């Protein structure tokens, strides 16, 4: 799952049906896969909004520089 999320986050255009099939083969159902995609996509979306607006996080870091 984490490899899939990293791929979706870093290179979303490279995600293929085979990646989803591997999740299913690992025991994830369609609703769980949808949840994985929704959470990863939401965090990417929110971080890009914060970065685009120059919003500082606690400690003065921007979202793009957050080590988490």
pLDDT in tens, the chain (68 residues): 999 999 999 999 999 999 999 999 999 999 999 999 999 999 999 989 999 999 987 766 555 555 55
Task: Specify burial of residue 51 (Cβ count, 10 A radius: 0-12, 13-18, 19+).
Answer: middle
pLDDT of residue 58: 73
Phi, psi of 54, deg, nearest 5: 70, 30
pLDDT tens digits along 45-60: 998 999 999 998 776 6
User: Against a cut of 0.85, is the pTM above it?
Assistant: no
């Amino acid at each position: 799952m984490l490899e899939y999320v990293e791929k979706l986050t870093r290179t979303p255009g490279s995600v293929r049906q085979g990646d989803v099939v591997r999740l299913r083969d690992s025991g994830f159902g369609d609703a769980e896969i949808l949840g994985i995609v929704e959470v990863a996509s939401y965090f990417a979306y929110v971080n890009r909004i914060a970065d685009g607006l120059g919003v500082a996080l606690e400690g003065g870091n921007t979202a793009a520089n957050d080590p988490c």
